[in-house]
Amino acid sequence: MADWAHLIGYISGSVLGRLLKHPRAADFNIVALVRSREKAMIIRSKFRVNAVVGTLDEHDKLTGLAERADIVFSVVRARTPQSADNSLIIVRGID
């Protein structure tokens, strides 16, 4: 497992790992939503990724991040009605 996978989850870590290995990764402005300041600090310093501390319950934050994004990867578990709500919040921000 890659170093970042334990910080942001297995699937999120896999997506991030692929993005960071891209030949033009230095041109990307990658933003990751994480749950703690500690994880954010490690991700920022070790992987040069803009880490934003927050939760999926912060709808305004999700919408704002999506508004500024060209591409959004949402890799949360789809087990709860909240997951569907969060997807709609992100789409609202992209739209």
pLDDT in tens, the chain (95 residues): 456 666 677 888 888 888 899 999 999 999 988 889 998 998 899 888 899 999 888 888 988 998 888 888 887 766 655 555 666 556 665 65
3-state secondary structure of 21: helix
Report the distance separating Cα 78 and Cα 64, nearest Å: 22
3-state secondary structure of 10: helix
Report the distance separating Cα 81 and Cα 63, nearest Å: 18
Q: Calculate Rg over the CA atoms of the chain.
A: 13
Whether this model's pTM surpasses 0.85: no
